[in-house]
Structure 1
Amino acid sequence: MRFIGMSLKAYFECFPCLLRQAIEAVNFLQVDDELKREILNDSMRIMIDIDPDLTSAEIAASIHRNIIQKVGGKDPYEKVKRESLKTAFEYYNDAKNLIASSSQPLETALKLCAAGNIIDFGPASEFELKRTMERALQEPFARFAFKEFMTALQKANSILFLADNAGETVFDRLLIEEIKRPLTYVVKKDAIMNDAIVIDAELTNFPEYVTIVDNGSAIQGTVLSQCSRDFVDRFEAADMIIAKGMANFETLPEEGKRTFFLLKIKCVPIAKLSGIPNGSFVVKQGGLFT
């Protein structure tokens, strides 16, 4: 990533990751070698010809739109997302027990929710949930704005929760069940890698006080210029925003104290820009530039 104005644009270190994600997607589809080569050639052309002022999330969206078009509309990650949900639910009861037995249930739920960001077939393609949950509860977070989170939660009349990946939604549910407040849960409108869409949120079985909406886009993170007017209105009106994952951290760098980012730092450029060690878990108040 690099700074242009007050936003994050793709840096050269992003491009190998973008290409790896394209290879991963075609492997999930199990297409023949000829189509694989065609898709990968297209992906490299997109990266060569792309507007240099675009974010890596926008470049990834162009690559994956092309992949989906080439394979007749099939979502490369559909099966992976179902498997991620299944795996996450296998740990749900254990996680609930950890929260119930904690002297600080909300704090424990917040840590486990951040730890759920390990469920990712983008920057980090392998995860082990049990070990990650244990680590999240035993090791200190690089940033952990729990007191600030509590204060914001007590004052907020409206809460917006920006989802990240399918499967990870189960860990979002753990936190939401401890928050015990009506809130709006935001997913993508259409498939983009393993990001959650409406069906993924519905399969997560959130409490009835959760309203599920999409943001009108199929771009990782939250690129407000590409979102629907309805979502932007909700975003601007929210008293508190909980934003999951590195893509939201990248695409909302100017967000202030109303926004809390829950994630694992998964790449060197973001680690350098944030001053947070790569591989660290984070609950941070405010974006990269605040």
Structure 2
Amino acid sequence: MISEDIMNRNKQIPAACYPCIFEQLHSLAMVTGLEGDGEKLLFEHSMLHLLATHGEGLVVQHIIRSATDRAIALSGKVGDYDPYGAIKKQSNDIARQFAGEFRNKIRRSSEPLRVAVKIAAAGNIIDFGAKRHGSLDVEKELCTIDERAFGCFDFAEFSTRLKLAGKLLYICDNAGEIVFDRLFIEEILRTNPGLEVTCAVRALPVINDAVLADAHDAGLDEVAVVVSSGSVYPGTLLDETSEEFRMLFDNADVIISKGQGNFETLLDIADERLFFILRIKCDQMARLSSVAKGELVLMQGGKVRST
């Protein structure tokens, strides 16, 4: 079981994360159509939140959720409005253009699981939470996927645990990226046909993180059971997820955590069942992972060192 002490410790926002927060706020204002006074009100809302708390008892994910709710309210949108909905659909569509090529690359390889891990990790570049909207050329990034290197690659530990596993929990990150998660899961199931795979996505739209609609659009439900984690944040704060998800987490033999948001929120859990797969996108994450910015990671839980 996950202890309350583990779930609640170290909730604070480092000063180094503030510039990224402001970049995300600007992106959010753009996609929700806020201009002038609207964008100013959005920034004031988040800055007041930070000033009132000094970033203590919070993580970046709390600020982004609050800002998303405020941006939707300021934009006058109602119902199930997803600010990044069109962008996420485009990301899935672009990723699908490369899926056949990457699937063939995996199947032709003498080490298909190793190649599938790299493709899943490199797919983590599709992240508008780490780059300002409009500055990320998804197609260009995917064309250079073979140039990416791993700064940490705990592949032996991962493949060994996978062979012995009966249940795999796969915690998803971004739309677009989930197309490559599907390829990875296909290869996992090819070599482990009896494995039960459950994919968890966000409960509500936030940045370009995948929700159930995005997962179905990517066909993720064709290779795994897809559920909501209950998380409304761009990450996985275990004490703020659903009881169903926490039960899946407790009972899984292997847990794959995709992306930086999940890495940030789960890295304090010294659990060797956890394997983080992502690309290191900022100096703060480089310090926490001891991996250079820009490099890929396949890192077993319990080996993460906070510095």
Q: Same fold (TM over 0.5)?
A: yes
1:8/1:251 contact within 8 Å kept:
no
Partner AA of 1:117 in structure 2: N
Kindly report which structure 2 residues correspond to 1:79-94, keeping only aligned pairs within 5 A, or say none: 79-94=86-101
1:143 aligns with 2:152: yes
Which residue, 207, 218, 230 being the options, matches 1:204? 218
Residue 58 of structure 1 corresponds to: 62
Kindly report which structure 2 residues correspond to 1:236-247, keeping only aligned pairs within 5 A, or say none: 236-247=250-261
Which is further off, 170-179 or 55-64?
Answer: 55-64
Distance 2:270 2:216 in 1: 28
2:185/2:223 contact within 8 Å kept:
no
1:161 aligns with 2:194: no
Residue 128 of structure 2 corresponds to: 121
Partner AA of 1:164 in structure 2: D
Question: Structure 2: which 5+ runs fail to align?
Answer: 1-7, 190-194
Deviation at 1:139, TM superposition (A): 5.1
Residue 77 of structure 1 corresponds to: 84
1:163/1:244 contact within 8 Å kept:
yes
Deviation at 1:41, TM superposition (A): 1.9
Change (3 A) 1:86 1:191: same
1:39 aligns with 2:42: yes
1:22 aligns with 2:25: yes
Distance 1:197 1:54 in 2: 23
2:94/2:139 contact within 8 Å kept:
no
CA RMSD of aligned residues (A): 2.1
Deviation at 1:29, TM superposition (A): 2.1
TM-score w.r.t. the length of structure 1 is 0.92
Change (3 A) 1:134 1:260: farther
Distance 1:93 1:215 in 2: 29
Distance 2:305 2:35 in 1: 44
2:260/2:279 contact within 8 Å kept:
yes
Deviation at 1:131, TM superposition (A): 5.9
1:87/1:167 contact within 8 Å kept:
yes
2:259/2:278 contact within 8 Å kept:
yes
2:166/2:196 contact within 8 Å kept:
no
Residue 4 of structure 2 corresponds to: none
Which residue, 192, 197, 212 being the options, matches 1:183? 197
Residue 171 of structure 1 corresponds to: 180
Q: How many corresponding residue pairs?
A: 287
Change (3 A) 1:22 1:237: same
Change (3 A) 1:289 1:133: same
Change (3 A) 1:111 1:278: same
Give the SS at the match of 2:118. helix
Residue 265 of structure 1 corresponds to: 280
Give the SS at the match of 2:183. helix
Partner AA of 2:258 in structure 1: K
Question: Structure 1: which 5+ runs fail to align?
Answer: none
Aligned sequence identity (%): 35
TM-score w.r.t. the length of structure 2 is 0.87
Deviation at 1:127, TM superposition (A): 4.1
Give the SS at the match of 1:260. strand
Deviation at 1:110, TM superposition (A): 0.6
